[in-house]
Structure 1
Amino acid sequence: MSHNETALLAEVVPIVEAAGALLQKRFTTEPPTLTTFDEIVAAINANDDAVLDVLREPLLAARPGSGWVEDELAGGPLPPGEWWVTDPAEGNINHVHGLTDWGVTATLVRDNRPVLTVVHLPLTGTTYTAVEGGGAHQDGVPLRPSRKTALLGALVGTGQARPGESVETFRSIGGSVTALLTAGSVLRVSVPATLQLIHVAAGRTDAFWQHSDVRSGLVAGVLLVTEAGGVVTDLQGVPWTVASTDVVAAAPGVHGPVLDALSTAGTS
């Protein structure tokens, strides 16, 4: 971890935490009044717009010359250089329904490698950080993946990456869920991906896989898992990149067994 990246991290943390404080002010656990799809979309967009107003310009100023990825649901490689990939309300669908699994993320991607990330969860006041080569941390405490070596009793997770996935993707999710349950795992299916990846990095869960490639939901968690000492590949076992169309992130001892189980479902 270079001195420049250490200094940048120190700048980015308060920016993301300030964005999280704003998102928390917009949150209520009261039963939602949303009744239609259009109302849900409007509430999600309102959250995004409000938080982006306090997130975008400070991040761009903190890294002169960096670019900004506009579409948070996009996937695939980026042009060369440095890009901010953010989610101003990761888990937005939970936020607008009064659920607690949401936060704010900001990740610097350099030449298609996530190199610095900050994830803030306002309701717990917890901040996760990682810098390439510098480890992953929760409020300054190093993260480590679990030590499990078998799927029997392993806690694993998956989820939907974006609205409107293809029928083929839904079938792949269903087949992979059956395969991991058959292998003896205990399964969590939830969104957002970042929070599931945080749990893998912290050793609270053992693996996460996803049949999709939304950058903003993966780059932060992938860097956290990798820097914590976990293993991140695609479903073929090839090291994950932003060009990958799927992902498996796991503790070292269960990564191979997860891939094996997924191969039985015909999803790899």
Structure 2
Amino acid sequence: MSSDTSLTTDTSLPTDTSLPIDTGNTLLDQVTVAVRAAGDLLRERYTAQARGTSTEEIVTEIHANDDAVLDVLKAPLLSARPGANWAEDELAGGALPSGEWWIVDPAEGNINHVQGMPDWAVTATLVRDNEPVLTVVHLPLTGDTYTAVAGHGAHVNGAPLHVSAKTELGAALTGTGQARPGEDEETFRRIGSSVTQMLIHGLVVRVSVPATLQLIHVAAGRMDAFWQFSDVRSGLVAGALLVAEAGGAVTDLDGNPWNLTGRDFLAAAPGIHAAAVAVLSPLA
């Protein structure tokens, strides 16, 4: 990757306001209904106690959550957008073929759900030519629904979202985390080094999963930046659109505009973005 940290490029996600997603929000409404219904099912499956003690038992529970939610979510989404494709592997990364694709995480933060923790959600994002254009993220335990349409802003329960106004990295609450189990050792070393550097230059660092739940905090101004050494699509596309539409900068760690071809990711309040790039780009 380039070592140039110049931020003269546009750090927002490209937006195509000519996208045929009606401004009357009919498609957004349909997706919201489907995601909330899926969330209701996932909430019914939730217990406040951990389920499974062995790796095999935990993996079985994770797959059961995914299968149950997809049974009620996939058909409505495909029906809502005829002709759109479906990205099957939620842990896959990299570019998709041209056209429209649904990128869905039926249980974002699935391990948290299985462990009896509250940090999980259902997400559905429509991507066109590798750019997210519509997303719905629903948190069943709180009832909160985060939505964004490219060019039309980001919202939680209908109220506008705005990123943080901070301009000092030393005052920033930032976060990161691993994208999938079994990352390579070099990725783990980068994560550790990046946390150390951000602890030195920032105020507080959160290391947790899933990415989307940290990114909604960035979009809402409760956190100031999130970065990840990953290209896992399902963990990034929803939050990327929410942050961009809330006024944030969404780039790779060199400060170049991010899309699905990127190998790393940074979403930040504009006032601290350049400083975050300066800290993190040497580790990219």
TM-score by length of 2: 0.92
Q: Which amino acid aligns with 2:72?
A: V
**Equivalent in 244, 249, 267 of residue 231 of structure 1:** 249
The answer to whether the 8 Å contact 2:38/2:69 transfers is yes
> Unaligned 5+ residue runs, structure 2?
1-16
Partner of 1:69: 87
Deviation digits for residues 138-168 of structure 1, max 9, x if unmatched?
0000000001001112100000001110000
Deviation digits for residues 209-238 of structure 1, max 9, x if unmatched?
000110000000000000000001001111
Q: Which fold has the larger relative contact order, with Cα–Cα distance below 8 Å and residues 6 or more apart in sequence?
A: 2
Give the whole-Å Cα distance in 2 for the aligned partners of 1:164 and 1:192.
15
Partner of 2:240: 222
Displacement of 1:33 in angstroms is 4.2
Q: Which amino acid aligns with 2:149?
A: V
The answer to whether the 8 Å contact 2:121/2:140 transfers is yes
Displacement of 1:194 in angstroms is 0.4
Q: Which moved more, 1:181-190 or 1:51-60?
A: 181-190
> How many pairs were matched up?
265
Query: Are 1:20 and 2:36 an aligned pair?
Result: no
Any runs of at least 4 consecutive aligned residues in structure 1 with deviations exceeding 4 A, and if so which? none
Partner of 1:58: 76
Give the whole-Å Cα distance in 2 for the aligned partners of 1:224 and 1:184.
23
Q: Which amino acid aligns with 2:233?
A: R
Give the whole-Å Cα distance in 1 for the aligned partners of 2:231 and 2:98.
19
Q: Which amino acid aligns with 2:37?
A: A
Partner of 1:38: 56
Query: Are 1:267 and 2:283 an aligned pair?
Result: yes
RMSD over aligned Cα atoms: 1.0
Deviation digits for residues 30-58 of structure 1, max 9, x if unmatched?
2x241110001000000000000000001
**Equivalent in 159, 175, 179 of residue 157 of structure 1:** 175
Q: Which amino acid aligns with 1:262?
A: L
TM-score by length of 1: 0.97
Displacement of 1:3 in angstroms is 5.6
Deviation digits for residues 153-207 of structure 1, max 9, x if unmatched?
2100000001110000000001100110111320100000001010000000000
The within-5 A match list for 1:86-101 is: 86-101=104-119
Q: Which amino acid aligns with 2:55?
A: F
Q: Which moved more, 1:109-118 or 1:176-185?
A: 176-185
Partner of 1:240: 258
> Unaligned 5+ residue runs, structure 1?
none
Give the whole-Å Cα distance in 2 for the aligned partners of 1:152 and 1:113.
32
Query: Are 1:134 and 2:134 an aligned pair?
Result: no
The answer to whether the 8 Å contact 2:163/2:246 transfers is yes
